[in-house]
Chain A
Amino acid sequence: MIVIVTFVAAAAVTYLLRSSMVLAGDRLQESDGVRTAVELTAPAVLAAMIAGALLVHHGTVSAPALAEVAAIGAAVVAVRRTGNVGAALAAGLPVYWVIQALAV
Chain B
Amino acid sequence: MTATATPRDVVNVAPAAGAARAALQDTAPFAVALVPFGFAVGVAATHAGLSATENLAGALVMLAGAAQLAVVESIGRGEGIWLAVLVTLLINLRFVLYGAGIAEWFANASRLQRLLLVFPVVDQSFMICQQRFRSEADLAWRRRYYLTTTALLAGCFVGAQALALGFGDVLPDGAGLHLAAPLAFAGMLAKSVHGRTELVVATTAAIALVVVAGTLGPAALPAAVVVGVVTGARMGRTS
Contact = CB atoms under 8 A, between A and B. Distances in A.
A50 B187 contact: no
Contacts of B214: 59-61
A48 B115 contact: no
Nearest to A80: B190
A52 B97 contact: no
Contacts of B61: 7-8, 11
B202 interface: yes
B103 to A, nearest CB: 5
A18 B186 contact: no
A42 B199 CA distance: 11
B71 A6 contact: yes
B14 to A, nearest CB: 25
A83 B123 CA distance: 13
Given A14-B95, A18-B121, A56-B210, A50 B189 contact: yes
A22 B62 CA distance: 18
Given A3-B58, A52-B221, A59-B213, A17 B92 contact: yes
B64 A14 contact: yes
Contact of B118 (A11, A19, A52): A19
Contacts of B35: 86
B13 to A, nearest CB: 24
Interface in B78-119: 81, 84-85, 87-100, 102-103, 111, 114-115, 118-119
A5 B71 CA distance: 11
Among A4, A17, A36, A46: residue with most chain B CB under 10 A: A46
Nearest to A71: B179
B54 A83 contact: no
Interface in B15-73: 32-37, 39-40, 50, 54, 57-58, 61-64, 66-68, 70-71, 73
Interface in A77-104: 78-80, 83-90, 92-93, 96-97, 100
A6 B102 CA distance: 27
A66 interface: no
A46 B202 contact: yes
Contacts of A22: 99, 102-103, 111, 114-115, 118
B185 interface: yes
Interface residues of B, number: 93
Given A40-B201, A42-B192, A88-B190, A71 B176 contact: yes
B165 interface: no
B232 interface: yes
Interface string B207-237: 1111001100100110011001100110001
B10 interface: no
B139 interface: no
Nearest to A1: B54
A87 B32 CA distance: 11
A93 B201 CA distance: 26
Contact of B191 (A23, A55, A85): A85
Contacts of A61: 210, 213-214
Interface of A: 2-11, 13-15, 17-23, 25, 30, 33, 35-56, 59-61, 67-68, 71-72, 75-76, 78-80, 83-90, 92-93, 96-97, 100
